[in-house]
């Protein structure tokens, strides 16, 4: 906002403050007073700045200070959400119900949390579930942008598994999940080879079509 825009907003805030002062239930509106004080601060800031200066709220010190205060709390909430989803996935694993579960945004982080809890042990069943969900565009993977984001968070073995599954599904559309179990083993032990095989099959498909 430029000085003119800030001045107009300040006048609006002052008008609202005068209106509130006439109503007993609004006279002690802390939020309104804080808003008025902020517009007054911006008005003074731009008045002292060179002509043509524009205030950007994304870089304003007050906004940045608020974000800095909020960031740790937001990080704690996100960690709690990831931990809760990891607990849920763990329970689903124990019930052998992962395949009936729709993946959600953030499950890649929950997978990492499960691996961390296991002391770095790869969660093969979770990895296979994520690869199959990515290939079949299940859950949040239905959105291309979400798929791209998920792919950026998954490990090379999971991505190689997903790529190989996609090509095998094109080769044998009716193949059962159990019939393709070898793809997970290959991707886990030789992810680069699995990726190369997926690329080769894609090329063969393109040249044969």
Q: Could you report the per-residue pLDDT of 66-79, keeping only the tens digit for each?
A: 556 566 777 778 88
Mean residue pLDDT across the chain: 83
Residue 87 lies in a domain: no
Q: Count of domains in the chain?
A: 1
20 located within any domain: yes
Determine the structural domain holding residue 14 and report its residue range.
Answer: 3-55
pLDDT band at residue 173 under the 50/70/90 scheme: confident
Q: Is residue 151 part of a domain?
A: no
Considering only 45-59, 93-107, 109-123, which range has the smallest mean pLDDT?
Answer: 45-59
Of the candidates 177, 125, 181, 131, the residue with the CA atom closest to the CA atom of residue 155: 131
For residue 193, how many C-alpha atoms fall within 13 Å in the half-sphere facing its CB?
9
Distance separating the N- and C-terminal Cα atoms of the chain: 57
pTM of full prediction above 0.75: no
Q: Which range is least confidently modeled, 28-42, 44-58, 101-115?
A: 44-58
Per-residue pLDDT, 137: 93
């Amino acid at each position: 906002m430029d000085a003119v825009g800030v001045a107009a907003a300040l006048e609006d805030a002052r008008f609202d403050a005068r209106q509130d002062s006439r109503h007993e239930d609004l006279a002690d509106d802390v939020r309104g007073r804080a808003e008025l004080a902020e517009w007054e601060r911006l008005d003074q800031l731009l008045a002292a700045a060179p002509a043509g200066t524009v205030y950007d709220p994304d870089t304003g010190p007050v906004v940045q200070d608020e974000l800095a205060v909020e960031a740790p709390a937001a990080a704690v909430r996100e960690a709690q959400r990831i931990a809760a989803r990891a607990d849920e996935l763990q329970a689903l694993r124990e019930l052998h119900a992962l395949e009936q579960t729709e993946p959600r945004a953030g499950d890649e982080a929950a997978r990492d949390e499960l691996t961390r809890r296991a002391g770095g042990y790869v969660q093969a069943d979770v990895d296979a579930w994520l690869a199959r969900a990515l290939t079949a565009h299940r859950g949040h993977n239905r959105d291309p942008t979400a798929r791209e984001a998920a792919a950026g968070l998954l490990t090379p073995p999971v991505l190689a598994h997903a790529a190989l599954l996609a090509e095998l599904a094109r080769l044998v559309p009716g193949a059962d999940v159990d019939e393709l179990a070898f793809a997970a083993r290959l991707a886990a032990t030789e992810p680069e080879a699995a990726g190369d095989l997926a690329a080769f099959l894609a090329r063969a498909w393109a040249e044969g079509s």
